[in-house]
Structure 1
Amino acid sequence: MEYLEFELPIKELEEKLQQTLAIGQESDVDVSATIKQIEKKLKATRKDIYANLTAWQRVQMSRHPSRPYTLDYIKAICGDTWLELHGDRNVKDDKAMIGGLGKIGEQSFMFIGQQKGFNTKTRQYRNFGMANPEGYRKALRLMKSAEKFGVPVVALVDTPGAYPGLEAEERGQGEAIARNILEMTRLKVPIIVMIIGEGASGGALGIGVGDKVVMLENTWYSVISPESCSSILWRSWEYKEKAADALKLTSTDMKKLKLVDEILREPQGGAHKDRETIFKSVADCILRQYDDLKDLDSKELVDSRMDKYANMGVYKG
């Protein structure tokens, strides 16, 4: 089990608990009172740490190496019904952007999302979850197919940003993302967006326009990462914590600003602590949000979506 820096007090207590249990098993010493005391302190420490996470700590949680990624969610909630589709029919198949058909219960969905790797080899294979233009064009192709057959779209967002390489710019990275935003605003089927990890910059927005946008509790959504913001404003990454606070990028901030529709609670300690629970929560949330949208006709759906985004940032003095 990997621990983040702010979780070290929990690690120390868990190790102490294991040592005490081992002493009790290996000897005749009664350690039950000590175990109860440690467990009580451990419970209180967990509650105190996870109830008071800073913006930067939530960013760290969203990047936890054990956190489930897009394919983990899709395979868990769709099972054998998942069928991955490949290619943008123009350049190549972008491994950082995945998509395909799957069912939750009896309802079919077109799933689209960024996929990160879980070790060095797969991270390189998936380009660290940073899609090229062909990834966004593949996503658009799949969304258009979903529209043609009346299948609702689910977008699972988890990316540090679109790939910023020279070759990506040569192939029209900005145009691909802008095209997706335009086309998603007028897609004639329901779109449900789930922020399951990092929601950074245009890389997230390229598949982030939806009728319903839901953020998991320990995720973030912003125009720029705290590190990049710090390096631009202060010429150093040292102020990333200050930048994270200023960017108002947490789920609570985003809900307060009415930029997302719902915050989905995670198990204590993050989504990676209880995968089965978070998988069920996400599946239930998708079905619940779809129930709110399925009876709208295409014109009502598009008009409502356009109004939703047109009203963002509008304030009365």
Structure 2
Amino acid sequence: MQLDQYISDLLYRYECVILPGFGAFLTQIQSAQIHATTHAFYPPKKKLSFNAQLTDSDGLLANYIAKTEMIPHSEASNRIKTYVRFLYDNLHKGESQTLTNIGTLSLDTESRLQFEPSYHLNYLTDSFGLSSFTSPEIMREVYKEEVTALEETTPIAFTPERKASNSWLKYAAAAVIAFGVLGAASFNYVQDVKEHNYVAQEQAREQLEDKIQEATFVIPNPLPAIQLSLTKPAGNYHIVAGAFRMEENAQKRVDQLTEKGYKARTIGTNKYGLHQVVYGSFTHSQEALSELRAIRKTDNQDAWLLVQSID
């Protein structure tokens, strides 16, 4: 009877799988590595190890076997005990025991358990699909030295075609210089035109200002003056009619109260961001309290008095 497959399945999900009465198989995440000599790249993996001191059952292996094979937990525990006796018997006979995809177990000269992990499986699920590969070493410095050596030894020959091309370059350079001179002259001309236009605009603006200052405007039939007397609401005692989330609703309430004859208005927002509407504001507390009692009897039982200085 072999339980290798069950232990291997659990190693994908757990860092410690205990074989009760025998020892524990442990996993530890190891980062990706590059071999300095072979230049082989190895992906991240779970490194396997064995601890013979952890022998107490935690129920993990027995529960997994019972669930997988649909057998009672007690029967699964008995199968584990039988498997452990089988391993010990063969190890004491001097035979090493290989657990598939896990590793090889053996006893040393002092009857101590030795474990050599297997490298056939990578139990780190995050590295699924990644395999090791070898890349040739990049010889950047060697190539640089070879190119430098070639540059020092390679002769450079000048042919007639090269000279002809130089003559063509001379003509091209002369053309570029000519275009540059024409461009500079055009730029100077444009600048002169801009300066002339600016001076003309300044002169026209000054003449227009002079005309405006000299002009006299006479209205033959002036309209009669209208005098308005505005009274700014004052007082620190305010009878509150309500508070509204929307400013439009607050203004509607102001219009309703104004039609009723109150000097209603909004006094800004409170600490909750609500727009406050008041019946009116009063300088003296007695006057405000008297008006509040009247409003509660005739218009709004929920009206209340706010004492606050408002700029």
* Larger gyration radius, structure 1 or structure 2: 2
**Higher RCO (C-alpha 8 Å, min separation 6):** 1
Query: As a proportion of its length, which structure holds more helix?
Result: 1
> Could you tell me the TM-score, scaled by structure 1's length?
0.15
